[in-house]
Amino acid sequence: MRIETSTKPQRLVVSLHDVHPGSRAAIAAQREALAAWGVPRRSLLVVPRFHHGPGVNAPDFAAVVREWAGEGDEVVLHGFFHDRQDREDPLASLFWTRFYTNREAEFLDLSAAEALQRIEAGLALFREAGFPPPEGFIAPAWLMGPEVLPVLREVGLHHTTTLREFLSPQRGGSVPSQSLCWSTRAAWRRIVSVLWNRWLFSSSRENRLLRISLHPDDLLHVTIRKQIERIVKTALDRGFEPVTYAQYASLPG
């Protein structure tokens, strides 16, 4: 992993993944915890129709997300369905589609036309919900084929990420920054996540951009919650400034 050293200010982005009507209570609890730990703004990765369920334009849910955006959070387009119900899993992709994710790598192998259709459909649902126009798109599990980046340029989106980089589709270029994230699907995954993120955070002291990515169940596990709190507070003590992805994308240079 490349670690970029710099005298420039260091930023912290905390992103809350899989925001949808069914995760509303969990996301609200995460926002409350992060605010108490010193993170006043977050990037909300909103899924237009999570697992083919209710749309984010449902009035009650849409109103809550608009309220959160009014308090300083950023709304980011996060796939469309966040699943692969309509796709086969080729043998060569099984690691990504069945082990690394649980059939959620929606944008891994879409054609450019399919990616454009889903992104435009997601943007349309966001408009119906009255959300601020999103500036970014992040693929489920950060997995996307090479056709997606040109589509993001075409529709005018300004930022995206992979697991290891922050990318600016309009400007070009990238910033190395491997996201800290946790897997909670099994006990062994939780143990490995804690050990991996302990090492990863210890290696990130000089990074220009520190990324912490939370999923709805993360704070329900005591050991993981304590680690996330410790990492956030340590990063703030080191001088990392909390920003959203959109704010980071707007910085000069």
Q: Flag whether 2 is in a domain.
A: no
Residue listed under structure tokens 């090479």: 146
What pTM was computed for the model? 0.91
Q: From the CB of residue 94, how many other CB atoms can be counted at a distance below 10 Å?
A: 11
Q: What is the pLDDT of residue 82?
A: 87
> Do strands 43-46 and 74-77 pair parallel, antiparallel, or not at all (unpaired)?
parallel
Contact assessment for residue 29 and residue 219, using Cβ atoms and an 8 Å cutoff: yes
3-state secondary structure of 156: coil
Q: Flag whether 6 is in a domain.
A: no
CB burial class (10 A; 0-12, 13-18, 19+) of residue 205? middle
What are the two backbone dihedrals, phi and then psi, of residue 171, each rounded to the nearest 5 degrees? -80, -30
What are the two backbone dihedrals, phi and then psi, of residue 185, each rounded to the nearest 5 degrees? -65, -25
Q: What is the pLDDT of residue 85?
A: 74
Estimate the crossing angle of helix 222-237 against helix 24-37, to 10 degrees.
40
Question: What is the tally of structural domains in the chain?
Answer: 1
Q: Which domain holds residue 168?
A: 11-249
3-state secondary structure of 127: helix
Q: Flag whether 127 is in a domain.
A: yes
CA distance 179 to 200: 9
Sign of the dihedral defined by the CA atoms of residues 112, 115, 119, 125, in that order: positive
Q: What is the pLDDT of residue 4?
A: 42
**Low-confidence spans in the chain with pLDDT less than 70:** 1-7, 84, 86-103, 253
Q: From the CB of residue 2, how many other CB atoms can be counted at a distance below 10 Å?
A: 9
Q: Flag whether 5 is in a domain.
A: no
Q: What is the pLDDT of residue 253?
A: 63
Q: Flag whether 4 is in a domain.
A: no
3-state percent helix, strand, coil for the chain, nearest multiple of 5: 45, 15, 40
Q: What is the pLDDT of residue 97?
A: 54
CATH of the domain at 162: 3.20.20.370
Q: Flag whether 3 is in a domain.
A: no
